[in-house]
Homo-oligomer: A and B are copies of this chain.
Amino acid sequence: MARLRVALLGAGRLGAAHARTLAGLTEARLVSIADPRPEGRRLAESLDAKPVADPLEAIGDADVDAVVIVTPTATHADLIEEAARAGKAIFCEKPIALDVPTTERALATVERAGVPLQIGFQRRYDTGFAEAQRRVQAGEIGKVHLLRSVSHDPYPPSREYILGCGGQFVDMTIHDLDIARFVTGLEVESVSAFGSALGAQAQDFRDAGDWDTTVLNLRFRGGAIGSIVNSRQSGYGYDIHTDLLGDNGGLKVGYERYTPITRYSRAGATHDYVPYFPERFAQAYAAELVAFIHAVQEGRPVTPTGQDGLASLKIALAATESARRGGTPVGVE
């Protein structure tokens, strides 16, 4: 099968990781990297790809079959639409946009063009979450009653990031929401949330009308319930775990340690912690690209889709509204 020819748009931290993954795949060929900054050019040269300043040039390239969009969020929807009109297969980092109308407009364009669009909810490709989904769907724990999901970042992002990211629920909780939908196979009916900002950058979060810590209750259609707890600053590492409870016991996805080293001393036994998402989800970030490439090459549907991105965005926006209104429950359309 011919190698899929890919253009990468955006050479930031995650973009560079995606570029290296693509360069190492025998199923794909990294044709070009579009990023106007010097580091974009350097990355392209180190990987034998063509450096391009303008993403539209990469999208317009007839030798490109697919684009991987890792640019700033504000540009996602437009680039998706451009790529769709150019007939390219599209992989785009989450979120498509921070609001529903823009997201829906981009999805409509994709649908008209009939191109595949996969969203970068990489947790679905983590061996843990993928296995949990398989086991739940296979009925191992019976009907799901309860989901508990925790995501803690090690330290808060920059003030600039806080002001532009769309808020904790849209930017961070959305991963837990996608996993909640993916693993349980259930849709969310309503939410209620509390938020607080007491951490090191509390003022930045307050200036953004946002929170560094949130607790979110979910009601799923059919009666199951859930709880998602997020913090922007655990102070110890990147802590991601999800527990499910059903008719027949439960399942947990999550581990705590990073290297297989334990230190025994008078202080006790200490193991290190996964530092952050690149370390925790390295395997998943590679696997989602491989899955995208194989699906496109073989004409199979990609997953998660743009509709998955839209569904989680709607829940995240409802959670935001609930937290702003002091915990008043908000329905999800």
Contact = CB atoms under 8 A, between A and B. Distances in A.
A145 B250 contact: no
Interface stretch (A50-58, A63-71, A124-132): A124-132
A250 B225 CA distance: 26
B264 A251 contact: yes
Contact of A261 (B143, B150, B246, B251): B251
B195 A236 contact: no
Contact of A194 (B213, B219, B268): B219
A131 B327 contact: no
A145 B192 contact: no
Contact of A249 (B132, B224, B226, B263): B263
A149 to B, nearest CB: 11
B272 A261 contact: no
A158 interface: no
Interface string A128-164: 1001100100001101011010101000000000000
Contact of A225 (B200, B214, B251): B214
Contact of A273 (B193, B196, B197, B268): B268
A318 to B, nearest CB: 12
A227 B225 CA distance: 13
A197 B225 CA distance: 10
Contacts of A235: 141, 245-250, 264-266
A77 B250 CA distance: 39
Interface in A220-234: 223-227, 229, 231, 234
A24 interface: yes
Given A150-B148, A192-B329, A273-B268, A46 B26 contact: yes
A215 interface: yes
Interface stretch (A81-89, A99-107, A252-260): A252-260
Given A128-B259, A145-B231, A329-B192, A272 B268 contact: yes
B257 A255 contact: yes
A195 B256 CA distance: 30
A250 B234 contact: yes
Contacts of A46: 26
Contacts of A291: none
Contacts of A218: 194, 215
A23 interface: yes
A26 to B, nearest CB: 6
B263 A273 contact: no
A225 B196 contact: yes
A273 B199 CA distance: 31
A328 interface: yes
A48 interface: yes
17 contacts: A26-B47, A26-B48, A128-B261, A135-B261, A143-B198, A145-B199, A146-B213, A146-B229, A192-B194, A192-B327, A196-B223, A215-B226, A234-B245, A234-B250, A235-B250, A235-B265, A236-B250
Given A252-B264, A264-B273, 14 more contacts: A24-B24, A132-B261, A140-B263, A145-B231, A146-B196, A192-B192, A200-B247, A217-B327, A235-B247, A236-B266, A249-B264, A251-B263, A268-B271, A269-B273
